[in-house]
Structure 1
Amino acid sequence: MAKQFPRIEPAHAEFIGRQRIFFTASATAESRVNVSPREASALRLLGPNAVCYLDQTGSGAETAAHLRADGRPTIMVCAFEGPPLILRLYGRGQSLPRGTAGYAALLADHYGEEPPGARQIVRLEIDLVQTSCGYGVPLFAPMGERPNLRRWAEAKGEAGLIAYRAEKNTRSLDGLPALPAGV
């Protein structure tokens, strides 16, 4: 049975901290729905009603475009080990592209060193937390993190990443503006 909360409770924060992956979903009224897996180490709790995650360069920028146009992402965390549980965070989000003051402040306060390929920090102001049973989520054993994205970003170098993002990340699949060129 689903339960709803106005904020992240301490037990929710503990649960989030134990997970190895989370998922983001976003859309606009007219766009495709985007769902993306994310490395849990990128997610930070900023308080009972706010989280952020450091986003890496990818082949698209759907989340950034959807946040600019609509601002309603959902973050889902589910247990693949231990007791079953699904936790969803709903609210209003914003993209803080690399090079902006908001990005720099969150990076310094919550991440320290910028990893190769970082392109934005997504911040979510939470207005609803929902949990559900998770009984249908299968059990998985983690095998480790993949080094591919870091190696790819390091090989591209700063100039190569800026050029790649200018080509691949300025518009969404549906043609919506996403990240600014030069990020």
Structure 2
Amino acid sequence: MGAFYETIPENIQEWILKQKILWVATAPLSAEGHINVSPKGGESFGILDDKTFWYHELTGSGIETISHLRENGRVTVMFNAFEGSPRIVRLWGHGRILERESPEFNAFVEEHNVKTIPATRSIIIVDVHQVGSSCGYSVPFYEFQKFRSTLDQVFEKKQKNYEEGKSEETMDRYWAYKNAWSIDGLPGMKRGVECGEKEKVEPIVKMVGPNAPSSPFGSGYSRSRPGVQVASSYAWLLLCVLLAFVVGRASAGHEFELIQRLKMMAGV
């Protein structure tokens, strides 16, 4: 039977700190937006008090959690037991983002002795307003082996390349390319957005097909090539309208001359 609390009970705090994996769920405000669930593995998370949870957020190809938190703050963190007694715990709350190397981030890392790595992207702090504990009878048993090291290796190599003189290997450029915008066109990493504007880094398009967002980089974002195509399309549309008008109204003896002038005006 499920139980709910306004704070994190001590026995649940102790259990949480023994876990090896957690899930973070967020969503945009738009009804057309995409709900996100991200698995997080590692030992770098903790509980500041009975209403405050935090975790060390690492760089990846997506930026949904940060984008959603920046827009509305809503977040659910979930843990479940893979060994011992069955249990599922959810923390509902509002999240705050401490971006890497910001004054707030630096102060938190120093105060709580957080070991950062090249892949470090932010610290997420969750102000918890409700805790739910329920059975996990349908969750299977799994035996933990070890944490993966691939992510660490990838970004350690990127940092080494940068230190050896490859200026394009900065984390800011990576964030500009992959972490500046969510799949729904919400802004993500501030440093990524700023770097993209400053260094002209064109972000990656993530979703494809007819159901992909029409503005993957925010409604105010413009890209050089599509912009040219849009301008050209408007020119052609204007030309077609004017030509239709001319055909209907102009005399037969002056049609050709007027059409040529309209083409010149439209730059075609």
Match of 1:12 in 2: 12
Match of 1:129 in 2: 131
Match of 1:79 in 2: 81
Say yes or no: does 1:160 pair with 2:162.
no
Offset at residue 18 of structure 1 (A): 1.4
Q: Per-residue CA shift, 1:18-37, capped at 9, x if unaligned?
A: 11101100002222111111
Bigger-Rg structure (1/2): 2
Q: Is the 8 A contact 1:21 1:37 kept in 2?
A: yes
Offset at residue 162 of structure 1 (A): 2.1
Where 1:174 maps in the other structure, the secondary structure is coil
Q: Per-residue CA shift, 1:127-151, capped at 9, x if unaligned?
A: 0000010111110001111110000
Match of 1:93 in 2: 95
Using the alignment, how far apart are the partners of 2:135 and 2:40 within structure 1?
21
Match of 2:23 in 1: 23
Match of 2:190 in 1: 180
Offset at residue 163 of structure 1 (A): 1.3
In structure 1, give the amino acid aligned to 2:13: A
Offset at residue 6 of structure 1 (A): 0.6
Where 1:18 maps in the other structure, the secondary structure is coil
**Stretches of 4+ moved more than 3 A in 1?**
none
Q: Give 1 or 2: higher helix fraction.
A: 2
Offset at residue 101 of structure 1 (A): 1.7
Q: Is the 8 A contact 1:77 1:87 kept in 2?
A: yes
Offset at residue 112 of structure 1 (A): 3.2
Give TM-score, length-normalised by structure 1: 0.95
Q: 2:111 aligns with which of 102, 106, 109?
A: 109
Match of 2:212 in 1: none
Match of 1:56 in 2: 58
Offset at residue 178 of structure 1 (A): 0.8
Using the alignment, how far apart are the partners of 2:39 and 2:29 within structure 1?
22
Q: Is the 8 A contact 1:44 1:110 kept in 2?
A: no
Q: What runs of 5+ residues in structure 1 fail to find an aligned partner?
A: none
Identity %: 36
In structure 2, give the amino acid aligned to 1:171: W
In structure 1, give the amino acid aligned to 2:135: C
In structure 1, give the amino acid aligned to 2:92: Y
Match of 1:118 in 2: 120
Range with greater deviation from structure 2 (55-64 or 152-161): 152-161
Give the aligned CA root-mean-square deviation in angstroms.
1.4
Report the count of equivalent residues: 183
Give TM-score, length-normalised by structure 2: 0.66
Where 1:115 maps in the other structure, the secondary structure is coil
Q: Map 1:29-44; keep pairs closer than 5 Å.
A: 29-30=29-30, 31-44=33-46
Offset at residue 40 of structure 1 (A): 4.2
Using the alignment, how far apart are the partners of 1:26 and 1:110 within structure 2?
26
Where 2:157 maps in the other structure, the secondary structure is helix
